């Protein structure tokens, strides 16, 4: 249960008005996250680890890729 709560807290920080690219490495390494969904407030923002897979103008799905 504590692990789930920690993940929720990290996501709350990530999805503030502007996304926090510094947390993506933690998501991938610690939790095995492979995709990120951005909503209307975050559309147009990006991080080097993110590659867009889908965008309908309201929501976008990104695949996360490790950076060298």
Tens digit of pLDDT for each residue in 47-67? 999 999 999 999 999 999 886
Structural domain count of the chain? 1
User: Residue 63 forms beta bridges with which residues?
Assistant: 35, 51
Residue 56, domain extent: 2-64
Mean pLDDT, range 11-26, rounded to an integer: 81
Mean pLDDT, range 30-36, rounded to an integer: 89
* Residue 1 confidence class, pLDDT cut points 50, 70, 90: low
Q: Against a cut of 0.85, is the pTM above it?
A: no
User: What ranges make up the beta strands (E) of the chain?
Assistant: 35-38, 50-55, 60-64
Mean pLDDT, range 11-27, rounded to an integer: 81
């Amino acid at each position: 249960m504590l692990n789930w709560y920690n993940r929720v807290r990290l996501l709350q920080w990530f999805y503030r008005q502007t996304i926090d690219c510094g947390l993506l490495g933690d998501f991938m390494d610690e939790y095995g996250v492979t995709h990120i969904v951005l909503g209307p407030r975050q559309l147009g923002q990006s991080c080097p680890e993110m590659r867009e897979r889908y965008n309908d103008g309201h929501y976008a799905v990104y695949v996360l890729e490790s950076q060298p």
